[in-house]
DNA sequence: AGCATTTTATTTACTGCTCGAAAAAAATAA
DNA sequence: TTATTTTTTTCGAGCAGTAAATAAAATGCT
């Protein structure tokens, strides 16, 4: 709560932001309804709405809906909504095996999307910023109409970010850490560029996806080729910085335990990621170097065998469940989420890990006293990430636009 | 970031709060200087200051200081400061062995203080709220002049709070959990009552005590008859609710490990609290019931023996250090404090645990990549708690007073 | 003593924002 | 064509903040 002086200008900014965020949350609506939803007076809505339309951020919608049957009685309501063409953003999901770039407009609609493969050796020769720059150029080339309206580039990555959020200090994606990513793109495209941890976006996306979670604290655990977690708290949405991102997968489970891909011994990931389960299942000692990568099919087969009751596989998933359960129990002592969402390929093995996860949670005093968090399983992790990124990117855009541009006097406008 | 409509009133509230918090942080100062420190115009300072003085919250200070040698040239500056008699707060530290009640005035000056013993059986017969009510009455009786100016009661406790912060759901203080504490006191005294976790206050107090920590994230670890931790983040001061309080002492260290006083196996506390070290040192198996309490002198003797190099004791402290080190390493994956402050009786054994603590931290990928947090030792934990409580209580008071009262027209005032 | 100087604090004139109420606009119903 | 209904805009008042001018309260100098 950094206090700073408030004046008429900050009031206007706040209320413009209120109008935009209400429209984001509840969709297009006429001015009268907007007054009700925001708590502002009709007079203010007229003023603010007029400004935002003049600025090109909002537009009046044809007739919106002709809701209940026949004709309405009075002056017809004209809904206002976001001007799709006001600006655009590019959402990038950078993963261990591929990069997906999505172009969305100001209304949040997907305009275009390209995908490119990421090989383990790719970033040994190509700088990540260079690869991304090329792909962004390509996407822009395919959509010439967006012109200079590209306002924001949001990148989702796995790994640890540096303080300023400019680069990765460590990542499971080979050779990607170290180099600055944000700065070169910022310079190349002259717009805001941000790097976010995949885990946090997963959690925020889960909140958007399940209406029931809207007012709960959520931890989303990804289980797959890595183990990752992000947390999201209500009322503090879009907490910038590194907040909400964790390194859950690299939390120690057992001192001097199994070797993790990160080089440290005993991480949760070393027991619960695909390679960890595989190692346990086939009796490979924990001191053995982890497999560089596990084919998706091989992991699916493993889950299948486990479900069929194959002893060694069931045991391996039990070990994985114990690592995750104790990890969650330890987490609970620091920050107690009310809801845990499990996503990723490992979600399909949840039933094999469930008992151990619950046992691990119950070994935590916090859970014994306050109860265990509700756990739900969601298979597809791509959608929450994407939704989360779109939502937070647009919210940031709203902030930037309603904060910066208004005071400009329409001096040299076309008249 | 819950958006709500802003108007002239919210501007005034914000700026009144700004004036008060500036005065809290930087002490009494004349209006001109206040204008500079807050960023508000002189005109606004005149208006706001006048209001606050009329309201009785601030007063003009005689001459303050006659700072550099001889006489100043122009119109003498008259400093404004808090009106001591505007209101009072009672700060209560409820501990395993005693309860301390401090009466402070609006300027934060200690007016009176009483202390009463807490025995392990005390709360079997007396409800905690009843005991506190009696003690508060006693304190009030000794200070009749405060009259109705008692505005706030802040209570520091150890243990877990319920959602609403009304009662303890679990506590190391015997028989204290379960019963509502806040509500009865609120009804008895008709003022705001709040329950805070001792750990969080410790961390916030440490920030106030060491100016160098002002802009860092801090974790304060208490080591003594329990192990506890609180965290404090800059820029988000007085984050209300349960934020910043942890159950670090009851984070699992080893699955199926040593028995903790809380009844769970493997908690950090079971290895690192006084009883845990004692148990390890004398070869008592971890499955043995922990001692009900360890005399302070016995623990001091233990530390003394350890420092003198007694093998079994050194080993016991090493085990304690490992528990704390791994615990901190695990914590780092969720929330990475830049600074760790160690307080309490165990602080004097830090050197015996240091190597193990550092080893535990280094077993965490986060520390390997981002470096280990700085660790400092501070022996006395009472002072930070008290300072933290006074600061946050007065900040809350400022908020309540500058938000609520101003719009009241001085209708039936004495004229 | 009396006037200039200096520093602090207040007053004045003005801007921008929101609000409530009244007026205007735009449709249907009779 | 006129009444009715609903949405939207306009108008006047009120309030908070700023910059600049003014007042206040002291010292220094002649």
Residue A415 pLDDT greater than 60, yes or no: no
Residue in A with minimal Cα distance to B162: A370
Distance in Å, alpha carbon of B84 to nearest chain A alpha carbon: 24
Residue B141 pLDDT greater than 80, yes or no: yes
Residue B413 pLDDT greater than 50, yes or no: no
Q: What is the mean pLDDT of chain B?
A: 90
B347-405 confidence digits (pLDDT tens):
999 999 999 999 999 999 999 999 999 999 998 888 888 998 999 999 999 999 887 65
Residue A404 pLDDT greater than 70, yes or no: no
Q: Which residues of chain A does B248 touch, with a Cβ-Cβ cutoff of 8 Å?
A: 333-334
B225-256 confidence digits (pLDDT tens):
999 999 998 865 444 445 678 999 999 999 99
User: Whose CA is closest to A99, among A120, A114, A121?
Assistant: A114
Q: What is the pTM of this model?
A: 0.90
What's the pLDDT at B388? 87
Residues 294-323 of B with CB under 8 A from A: 322
**CB atoms B235 and A370 under 8 Å:** no
pLDDT band with cut points at 50, 70 and 90 for residue A411 = very low
Helix (H) or strand (E) holding B59: strand B58-60
**Average confidence (pLDDT) over B293-302:** 94
Distance in Å, alpha carbon of A113 to nearest chain B alpha carbon: 32
Distance in Å, alpha carbon of B265 to nearest chain A alpha carbon: 7
Q: Does A21 touch chain B (CB under 8 A)?
A: yes
Q: Which residues lie across from A293 on neighbouring strands?
A: none
What's the pLDDT at B269? 97
Sign of CA dihedral B125, B129, B132, B137: negative
**Average confidence (pLDDT) over B148-172:** 93
DSSP B373: P
Tokens representing residue A300 in the block: 């699916």
Q: Which residues lie across from A230 on neighbouring strands?
A: A220, A245
Residues 375-394 of A with CB under 8 A from B: none
What's the pLDDT at A235? 67
Q: Is the CB of B42 under 7 A from strand C?
A: yes
**CB atoms B322 and A255 under 8 Å:** yes
**Average confidence (pLDDT) over B110-131:** 94
Q: Which nucleotide is nearest to B11 (CA to C1')?
A: D16
Lowest mean pLDDT among A66-80, B111-125, B260-274, B307-321: A66-80
Spanning CA of B387 to C1' of D30, the rounded length in angstroms is: 56
What's the pLDDT at B406? 42
Lowest mean pLDDT among A103-112, A318-327, B207-216: B207-216
**Average confidence (pLDDT) over A236-253:** 74
Q: Who's near B23: CB < 8 A, 6+ residues apart?
A: B29, B34, B58, B80, B81, B82
Residue in B with minimal Cα distance to A260: B365
Spanning CA of B5 to C1' of D14, the rounded length in angstroms is: 18
Strands B218-223 and B339-343: what pairing? parallel
Looking at A305-387, which runs of residues are DSSP E strands?
A: 339-343, 374-377
pLDDT band with cut points at 50, 70 and 90 for residue A69 = low
Q: What is the mean pLDDT of chain A?
A: 90
Residue A380 pLDDT greater than 90, yes or no: no
A293-349 confidence digits (pLDDT tens):
899 999 999 999 999 999 999 999 999 999 999 999 999 999 989 999 999 999 999
Report the C-alpha gap between A97 and A95 in whole angstroms.
Answer: 5
Q: Which residue is nearest to nucleotide D7 (CA to C1')?
A: A75
Length of chain A: 415
Residue A408 pLDDT greater than 70, yes or no: no
Phi, psi torsion values for B118, nearest 5 degrees: -115, 120
Q: Which residues of chain B does A170 touch, with a Cβ-Cβ cutoff of 8 Å?
A: 365, 369
**Average confidence (pLDDT) over A221-232:** 94
Helix (H) or strand (E) holding A308: helix A296-308
Q: Does A271 touch chain B (CB under 8 A)?
A: no
What's the pLDDT at A284? 94
Q: Confirm if A59 and A109 have CB atoms less than 8 A apart.
A: no
Q: Does B329 touch chain A (CB under 8 A)?
A: yes
Strands in B218-223's sheet, in edge-to-edge order, are: B227-232, B218-223, B339-343, B374-377
**Average confidence (pLDDT) over A87-105:** 95
What's the pLDDT at A147? 81
Q: For chains A and B, what is the number of CB pairs under 8 angstroms?
A: 153
Residue A180 pLDDT greater than 50, yes or no: yes
Q: Is the CB of B28 under 7 A from strand C?
A: no
Covered bases, chain D (protein CB within 7 Å): 4-12, 14-21, 23-28
pLDDT band with cut points at 50, 70 and 90 for residue A61 = confident
Lowest mean pLDDT among A66-75, A268-277, B215-224: A66-75
Residue A10 pLDDT greater than 70, yes or no: yes
Distance in Å, alpha carbon of A82 to nearest chain B alpha carbon: 19
Residue B411 pLDDT greater than 70, yes or no: no
B250-285 confidence digits (pLDDT tens):
999 999 999 999 999 999 999 999 999 999 999 999
Q: Confirm if A230 and A200 have CB atoms less than 8 A apart.
A: yes
Report in angstroms the alpha-carbon separations of B354 from B248, B311, B340, B359, B395: 18, 16, 13, 8, 36
What's the pLDDT at B414? 29
Spanning CA of B73 to C1' of C7, the rounded length in angstroms is: 7
Q: Is the CB of B287 under 7 A from strand C?
A: no
Q: Which residues of chain A does B334 touch, with a Cβ-Cβ cutoff of 8 Å?
A: 246-248, 251, 331, 334-335
| pLDDT > 90 in chain B, percent | 76
Q: Which residues of chain A does B237 touch, with a Cβ-Cβ cutoff of 8 Å?
A: 1
Residues 31-50 of B with CB under 8 A from A: 38-40
**Average confidence (pLDDT) over A154-158:** 95
Q: Which residues of chain A does B364 touch, with a Cβ-Cβ cutoff of 8 Å?
A: 250-252, 264
Report the C-alpha gap between A344 and A224 in whole angstroms.
Answer: 6
Residue A154 pLDDT greater than 70, yes or no: yes
pLDDT band with cut points at 50, 70 and 90 for residue B341 = very high
Selected residue with higher pLDDT from B272 and B121: B272
- Count how many Cα atoms sit within 13 Å of the Cα of residue B413 in the half-sphere of its side chain: 8
Helix (H) or strand (E) holding A143: none
Helix (H), strand (E) counts: chain A: 14, 14
What's the pLDDT at B235? 67
Residue A242 pLDDT greater than 60, yes or no: no
**CB atoms B248 and A40 under 8 Å:** no
Q: Confirm if A167 and A129 have CB atoms less than 8 A apart.
A: no
Q: Is the CB of B37 under 7 A from strand C?
A: no
Give me the long-range contacts of B73-80 (CB less than 8 A, separation at least 24).
B77/B30, B77/B31, B77/B32, B77/B33, B78/B30, B78/B31, B79/B28, B79/B29, B79/B30, B80/B23, B80/B28, B80/B29, B80/B30, B80/B31, B80/B34, B80/B49, B80/B52, B80/B53
Q: Does A368 touch chain B (CB under 8 A)?
A: yes
Phi, psi torsion values for A235, nearest 5 degrees: 70, 0
What's the pLDDT at B382? 86
């Amino acid at each position: 709560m950094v206090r700073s002086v408030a004046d008429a200008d900050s009031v206007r900014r706040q209320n413009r932001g209120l109008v935009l965020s209400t429209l984001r949350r509840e969709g297009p609506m006429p001015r009268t309804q907007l007054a009700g939803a925001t708590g502002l007076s009709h007079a203010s809505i007229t003023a603010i709405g007029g400004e935002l339309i003049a600025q090109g951020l909002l537009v009046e919608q044809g007739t919106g809906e002709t809701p209940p049957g026949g004709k309405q009685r009075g002056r017809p309501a004209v809904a206002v909504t976001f001007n799709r063409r006001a600006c655009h953003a590019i959402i990038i999901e950078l993963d261990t095996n591929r990069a997906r770039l999505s172009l969305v407009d100001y209304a949040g609609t997907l305009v275009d999307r390209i995908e490119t493969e990421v090989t383990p050796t790719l970033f040994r020769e190509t700088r990540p910023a260079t690869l991304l720059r090329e792909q962004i150029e390509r996407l822009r080339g395919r959509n010439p109409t967006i012109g200079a309206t590209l306002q924001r580039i949001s990148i989702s990555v796995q790994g640890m970010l540096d303080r300023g959020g400019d680069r990765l200090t460590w990542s499971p994606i080979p050779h990607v850490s170290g180099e600055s990513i944000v700065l070169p793109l910022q310079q190349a495209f002259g717009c805001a560029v941000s790097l976010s941890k995949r885990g946090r976006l997963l959690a925020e996306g889960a909140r958007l996806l399940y209406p029931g979670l809207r007012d709960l604290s959520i931890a989303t655990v990804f289980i797959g080729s890595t183990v990752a977690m992000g947390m999201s708290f209500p009322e503090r949405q879009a907490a910038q910085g590194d907040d909400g991102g964790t390194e859950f997968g690299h939390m120690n489970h057992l001192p001097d335990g199994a070797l993790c891909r990160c080089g440290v011994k005993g991480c949760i990931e070393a027991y619960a990621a695909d390679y960890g389960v595989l190692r346990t299942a086939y009796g490979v000692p924990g001191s053995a170097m982890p497999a560089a990568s596990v084919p998706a099919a091989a992991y699916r087969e493993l889950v299948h065998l486990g479900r069929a009751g194959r002893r060694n596989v069931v045991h391996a998933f039990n070990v994985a469940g114990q690592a995750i359960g104790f990890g969650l129990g330890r987490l609970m002592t620091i920050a107690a989420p009310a809801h845990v969402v499990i996503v990723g390929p490992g979600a399909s093995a949840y039933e094999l890990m469930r008992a151990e996860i619950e046992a691990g949670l119950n070994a935590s005093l916090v859970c014994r006293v306050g109860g265990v968090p509700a756990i739900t399983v969601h298979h597809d992790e791509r959608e929450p990430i994407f939704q989360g990124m779109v939502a937070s990117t647009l919210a940031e855009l709203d902030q930037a636009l309603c904060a910066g541009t208004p005071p400009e006097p329409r001096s040299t406008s076309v008249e």
